[in-house]
Every structure is written in structure tokens, then in C-alpha cells.
A and B are shown apart, each in its own frame.
Chain A
Amino acid sequence: MSKTQKDIVIGGGDVSSVVIGNSNALAFIGGPCAIESYDHTFLMAELISKICEKNNVPWIFKSCYDKDCRSAPESFHGIGLEKGLEILNRIRKEFNVPVVADFSDATWAKKTGEVCDLIQVPAYLCRQSSILRAAASTGRPVHLKKGQFMSPWNMKNSIRKLESFGCNQILITDRGTFFGYNHLVNDMTCFPIMKKTGYPVCFDATHSIQHPTSMGNISGGQREYIPYLVRSAVACGINALFMEVHNNPSQAFSDPNTVLDIKYLDQILNQAKEIHELRLEQLKIYGEDNVHT
């Protein structure tokens, strides 16, 4: 028996809003993995904005100010909390788009929530009570990523923690599950399973094709599988699609082996949108995807 599915609202007020869930349009959450500079962030937002407008896809801009889970000590760690949030705030105003960033330290949550319309909990930290409490305390909707080590049904524990801290606007995302060492797989049944919590679900395509730390001190990946996984996940009923994009992936400051070259975003979003709309039409005809009883 599934709970009634909730819509969650990202943004609103002084910025446009994006409603995620149920029969709403498939939302796109994307941007470069790390904030590299104001100029680069602006360029990426401009490119994504045009593609989303063309495809009539509601979107949320994502980029992070601190990449605390990088493999190597010498890897780019991030532009920093203050400077990063200042850039995100400018992007938010200049493009009238809700923004999201993750945070890896509970003390960063308050400031992050003052700028970001959606607060992201990193997958590695999805069980941490202190992080979940800090995320909920911002009063913003929370983007909760499923840990690569977690079963989809056990995410209910993190949901229950967030709810106990007063948060009832949650987006749950799959970004792959560890399959042995340095390898991830996607179990598409995770979407209906996680939807049973009553919250909308999202698929992170670009981290799903990651091979975590497979190159010794950085992560590898197989970008060529992104379209396959996106089509599968949308058909399985996701409400939002998350992808990190870059205009020059090999030179990206973070995740150069997994970010999607933005030249492919248009065709992937177009396919995703069409499959999503077809699924909604089929739901009207056939009802819920439940053949169990």
C-alpha cells in the first residue's frame, strides 16, 4: 500500500517555482559539478536555460561550492562557501531559476539555505543525523541522495529522520549502488520502491555511470551509457532528472570523467520529456503500475 504521492515545490517567492511529483512535468536539475568561476557558471546557466526553454522543461540550477568527497588531497576542493553562494545567488536572480547545492558540514547548512531553494544531502552522508537535522532546519525542501551502499527501502530511515526534524518536502534520488569495488549499477526497481515513501523520486544519470575512484586517485566513468539509463529511469516513473553538464568535460574542475558534454543535453532532455509524457498518458489508461495482487 503506497502512501499518497506528494508534490514538492522548489523556489517560489522572489524566484520562479518548480513543482515536482505526480503528473507534473519532468523537472531537470543540472549544472557543472563544481562552481569554477562566476563567468563559467553564468555560461553554463545560459546554455542550460536555452535548452530547457526550447524543450519546455522546468529546471533547477545545480553547482557546488565545496567538493568534500574528492578522492585525492590535491584535487580541486571548491571555490568556498561564501564566494560560491554569492555566485549561486547571482545566477538565481539573473536567470530567475531556483538553485541547489549540497553541503557536507552541518555548520554550512544555514548559509546554504539562505541562498539555495533546494538543499542537497550528499549520498555518502545520507544516513548522518546531524546532516539531516541541519538540512531540515533550513526550512527548504531537501534533495536526499541514496547512498551507494544503501538499499532503496532503507532510505525510509533517512526519510523518517528528516520528517522527525520537521521536513516534509523531500526529493529522493538514485545515483547508483555499489556492485563490488569501483563499480556502480542501477536497479530500476528502486524508483517504485522509494516512491512508496510518498515522495517524488529523481535519477542522477551522470553519477550513476561513475566508476568510483577507479583510476587510482580519481573516479572514472562510462558516459556512453547515460542515454540508456535516462530512458530507462524516466520509463520507470521518475519525477526529476539530475545530470551534471559541462561545456568542456575533460577540463572540468570536478568529475571530468562523468559530466555530460552539454552538446548532448538537448537530445537527452527531449527524449526524457517525451518518454515521461508517454508514461503519464499510459498511467491514465492503465492506472498504477501494480500487478502484484
Chain B
Amino acid sequence: MSILKNNILVKDVMLQVGNFPIVRPSNLIIETIEEMNKFGIGIACVVNEEMILKAVFCDGDIRRTIISNQKSISEFFIDDVLDHSVLTFKSVKEDTTLFDAIKLMGTIKVWDLPIVDSNSVIKGLLHLHPAILYLLESSLKNKLS
């Protein structure tokens, strides 16, 4: 099995729904940060009631807001997460190859990539660490076999 053979798919590696932060547009920033801390992941997927992905909110958005906005932290905490989220973001499908997904992550310089179906419903999250671990383990198995 090799990443270059294009037979590893995103769905083999992605974090399943329930294992990464998912919030609603009206969730507060503080609630969203707490979700991100809970999973130890620097991105939250903002979805509507139908679980359609509407925006993403990342650690970087927190850093940029602190510098650019300069409102008090208490005021920032109570904003709706959608107020500071990125509405134009990249995502891939479950059957995207891991090779293409990681290449895209490198190009746009992100650690996490949302996975959606053809209706934009959130299906998972590709997190770089487990993806790399998966590849290393696969590579090791190939050498031993």
C-alpha cells in the first residue's frame, strides 16, 4: 500500500463526526474555543441544523481577531462564532485520495481539512497528525512485508 499508488482514501484516515469540534453559527466564541480545547484540535466546523458545513473557525482566526479587532476579550468571547469564521474554505470528499488531500493542505497551509459529501453535509475531518501516522505505519508495514 502506498500513498503514491492513490489507494489510500481520505475516509480511511479522517476523524469521524463526534471526534472533532462541530458548532452552530449562533454558538458563542467561548463555547467554540471550549469545544476546540476539548478535542485538542485547532479548527471548529460551523454547521447548520442539517449538518451542512457553512464556515470554519480556526486558531488563526482567534489570533487575527485579537490583533485586528482589539475589543475586550470578554466582548470577543460572547460574539457569535459566525462573526469571526471563514466563509470561503476548502473541503474534500470522502473518496478523495489521501495524496491529493495532503497536497491541498500543503498548498493552502492548513492542518485540518473538512470532509463533506456532495450536499456539503459534514462527514469528517482530515487532521494532519493521524494522517501522517497512518502513512508512516503503512510505509513500515510495506518494508517489513
Interface residues of A (CB under 8 A from B): 1, 151, 153-154, 156-157, 193, 292
Contacts and interface: CB of A to CB of B under 8 A. Distances in A.
B66 interface: no
Nearest to A197: B80
A153 B82 contact: no
B75 A193 contact: yes
A153 B83 contact: no
B74 A154 contact: yes
B83 A151 contact: no
Interface in B73-130: 74-75, 78-80, 82-83
6 contacts: A1-B82, A153-B74, A153-B75, A156-B78, A157-B78, A292-B69
Contacts of A156: 78
Interface string B56-81: 00000000000001000011001110
B127 to A, nearest CB: 28
B75 A151 contact: yes
B75 A1 contact: no
A70 B46 CA distance: 47
Report the contact-size class of chain B (Cβ under 8 Å from the partner).
under 10
B101 to A, nearest CB: 30
Interface residues of A, dominant DSSP: loop
B78 A1 contact: no
Contacts of B74: 151, 153-154
B82 A154 contact: no
Contacts of A157: 78
A193 B75 CA distance: 9
A154 B69 CA distance: 18
Contacts of A193: 75
Nearest to A163: B26
B113 to A, nearest CB: 24
Contacts of B79: 153
A151 B134 CA distance: 49
A292 B83 CA distance: 13
A1 B80 CA distance: 9
Contacts of B82: 1
A227 B82 CA distance: 38
Kindly name the residue among A153, A154, A156, A193 whose own CB sees the greatest number of chain B CB atoms within 10 A.
Answer: A153
A161 to B, nearest CB: 13
Q: Closest 6 A-B residue pairs measured CB to CB?
A: A153-B75, A1-B83, A153-B78, A156-B78, A154-B78, A1-B82
A123 B83 CA distance: 28
A126 to B, nearest CB: 15
A185 to B, nearest CB: 16
Nearest to B26: A160
Given A153-B78, A154-B74, A193-B75, 11 more contacts: A1-B80, A1-B82, A1-B83, A151-B74, A151-B75, A153-B74, A153-B79, A154-B78, A156-B78, A157-B78, A292-B69
A204 B79 CA distance: 25
Nearest to B76: A153
Nearest to A3: B80
A1 to B, nearest CB: 5
Nearest to B80: A1
B17 to A, nearest CB: 26
Nearest to B87: A1
B57 to A, nearest CB: 13
B2 to A, nearest CB: 45
A151 B73 CA distance: 12
A151 B83 CA distance: 19
A193 B83 CA distance: 13
B25 to A, nearest CB: 10
